[in-house]
Structure 1
């Protein structure tokens, strides 16, 4: 089935088969483009706010760069726990878009660990 997928080459305007050697291009759209705001959240070991509710927000991107501790976040804003939220290990990034990105979200992780959060309308 993958061999049936093709994309337009910008240089040659011809169909190019998709493969591991020639994957689909990654393009940032207006959804995750210039309107992003970056913030850093320093965790305390207890469940706390990641982002407040915002009815105009269209995207939330959460990234964990720490390799020495696990973190988690709850996209519904409830009490967050490492075993009950969306897990983030070092290097993990999660993107939430659309209506789901508008709710308040909470986080939990090792004291002093940081998450990078990008939000956009």
Structure 2
């Protein structure tokens, strides 16, 4: 009889602590980014400006570097895993607009 009350209290404490730890665990969400559309937009802009091959190559290299940095920063800030849109069959959060805005701003700073 003496051990029943402490055992119940111990079980309740363990349940409370485990529920608290479970709710504090950060959850990562799945998001996707339409890299093809954004890259296509970049190529169209370069074509409109009649960029030389050297300018296209340089801008493309810078685009890929800045895109990697932008995606890394976005994933850390929003705790998401970002996949390429063409690899996603269903579900997920479309972050193309937000990432494109950040990418555009970062590309302007890089130039």
TM over 0.5: no
Q: Which structure carries more relative contact order (alpha carbon 8 Å, separation 6+)?
A: 2
Structure showing the higher strand proportion among its residues = 1
> Which structure has the larger Rg?
2
Query: TM-score scaled to structure 1, two decimals?
Result: 0.21
